[in-house]
Amino acid sequence: MLKNINHRIQLGFSLIEVVVSFAILAGLGVSLIQSQMNTSRVLYNAQSRDMAWEIIHAKLQEIERNPDLAQSSLKNQKFNEDHPLYPGHWSIILTTTKSVFSLAQMQKVTYKIDWKQNGNDRVVSDFILLDVATSLNDVIDNIQNFNDE
């Protein structure tokens, strides 16, 4: 004899399965969006830093070709409002130093850029050394002073 068994045929998903699926998808979506935002922020920071390095190296090369620009340039100046590093500013710092064995004077030209980004202070700087025109008599005096010591 066949027993009369009531089998319920299940068509579709239960409510709990749908809710759990949406919760998993929402969690994955949130983590994906956070990852994208972090990547964008890191990329923006890197682009700003690269831009600052490019500005510094271009200006230092210009000063190296024409050392008088270091003297005539403004020593501290803000970027224009349309510049990506605004409200930052740049500065040129000149210091005179002696070369090895104090035979000739060198001028250290430091170019520095600082700006605020995402509430943090950012600073990039680099320098070059320029030979200060010294007379032959000064070099001879320096050699004699070095030998006397």
* Pairwise CA distance, residues 86 & 79, whole Å: 5
Specify the pairing of strand 120-131 against strand 76-78: unpaired
pTM of the model as a whole: 0.59
Q: What pLDDT is recorded for position 65?
A: 81
Q: Tell me the domain boundaries of the chain.
A: 15-148
Q: What pLDDT is recorded for position 110?
A: 86
Q: 73: which DSSP letter?
A: S
- 70, 71, 77, 79 alpha-carbon torsion, rounded to 10°: -40
Torsions phi, psi of 35, nearest 5?
-60, -40
Identify the residue whose tokens are 């070709």.
Answer: 65
C-beta separation of 146 from 101 below 8 A: yes
Q: In sequence order, what are the residues at sequence separation of 6 or more whose Cβ sits closer than 8 angstroms to the Cβ of residue 116? A: 87, 88, 122
Can you list the alpha helix ranges (DSSP code H) found in the chain? 15-65, 68-72, 136-148
Identify the residue whose tokens are 């005096």.
Answer: 141
pLDDT block averages, 10 residues each, the chain of length 149: 59 86 95 93 87 87 79 72 83 76 76 84 86 58 58
Q: What pLDDT is recorded for position 5?
A: 59
Q: What pLDDT is recorded for position 122?
A: 86
Identify the residue whose tokens are 């690269």.
Answer: 50
